[in-house]
Amino acid sequence: MQNSKGFRVVIVDRELLLLDSLALAINADEALEVVAAQVDIDEGLNSALQTQPHVILVAVEFADTALFEQVCDFVRQNRRIRTILLSTTASSFMIERAIAAQVHGLILKEEPLPFLIESLKNVARGGTCFSESVQRFLEFDPEAQRHRVVSSSPNSTLSPRQIEVMRHLAHGESVREVARSMQLSEKSVESHKYRIMHKLGIHNRVRLARFAIREGLIRP
């Protein structure tokens, strides 16, 4: 249900300057109203649950593992609140997992502001919106009435635990350190390490680290 201003929006971005700028720009559009703007993802998601906006716009990077998974869990559990992810980059890893969670939009921060404003309105009306560089990975399934990834990469065969192991290894941690951090046995970590490298066709830690950086799994 619409109010007198238009579609209600909650925005979340840990960069306060960008958050304030987005709020001003969105409120300047007669069809949109920002009902909450938060720098903390927990507070932002809670605000969305309390205010029940038409759209929540969440800035999150795939490298921030826990936060990204938290947002995806929110999307899965709250289908009535339409969700757009805003990110600096979008690797095949991020796209596949975002689409699996059935987000309604994935927009890169390089997009012009008018594109973002129109995306918010389109998603609020029941549509979806993706940056062009994201769209090339996707196709629309008319039967399921949702987007899907055109062709799954070897990335999609990795389990969440394997991705987490890979992040630790790519950061330069030893098998023993990974085991301690993740509370796993060294044998289990070695097994994950072998399967990860086999699936990705990568045979040494240096290439694994480069791959993780390129795919946005860790920060350079």
Say if residue 136 is in the same domain as residue 49.
yes
Dist CA 7 CA 35 (whole Å): 10
Mean pLDDT of all residues in 92-104: 89
Contacts with 46 (C-beta within 8 Å, 6 or more apart), sequence order: none
CA 155 – CA 44 distance, rounded (Å) = 30
Strand order across the beta sheet in which 129-130 lies: 32-38, 7-12, 55-59, 82-87, 105-108, 129-130
Here the CATH number for the domain that contains residue 30 is: 3.40.50.2300
Look at residues 116, 131, 149 and tell me which one is the last residue of a structural domain. Answer: 149
In a domain, 189, yes or no: yes
Q: What 3-state class would DSSP assign to 132? A: helix
Q: State yes or no: pLDDT of 5 exceeds 80.
A: no
Domain interval for residue 166? 158-214
Residues 143 and 186 in one domain: no
Answer yes or no: is 2 within a domain. no
Mean pLDDT across 194-211:
89
Q: What is the mean pLDDT of the chain?
A: 90
Please indicate, yes or no, if residue 23 is contained in any of the structural domains: yes
- Does residue 103 belong to any structural domain of this protein? yes
pLDDT at 2 over 50: no
- One domain, residues 135 and 169: no
As given in the structure block, the two tokens for residue 145 are: 């009435």
73 and 95 in a single domain? The answer is yes
Reported pTM: 0.80
Say how many residues make up the chain.
Answer: 220
pLDDT tier, 33 (very low <50, low <70, confident <90, very high otherwise)? very high
Give pLDDT, residue 149: 79
pLDDT > 90? residue 203:
no
Summarize pLDDT for 52-72 with one digit per residue, the tens.
Answer: 999 999 999 988 888 999 999
pLDDT digits (tens, 9 = 90+) for 128-176: 999 998 988 888 777 777 777 776 666 667 888 888 899 899 889 999 9
Joined together, the tokens standing for residue 79 give 């289908």
Do the domain assignments include residue 73?
Answer: yes
**For residue 4, is pLDDT > 60?**
no
Note whether 87 and 168 are same-domain residues: no
User: CA 33, 109, 212 angle in degrees (round to 5)?
Assistant: 135
Number of folded domains that form the chain: 2
Q: Assess whether 131 and 49 both reside in one domain.
A: yes
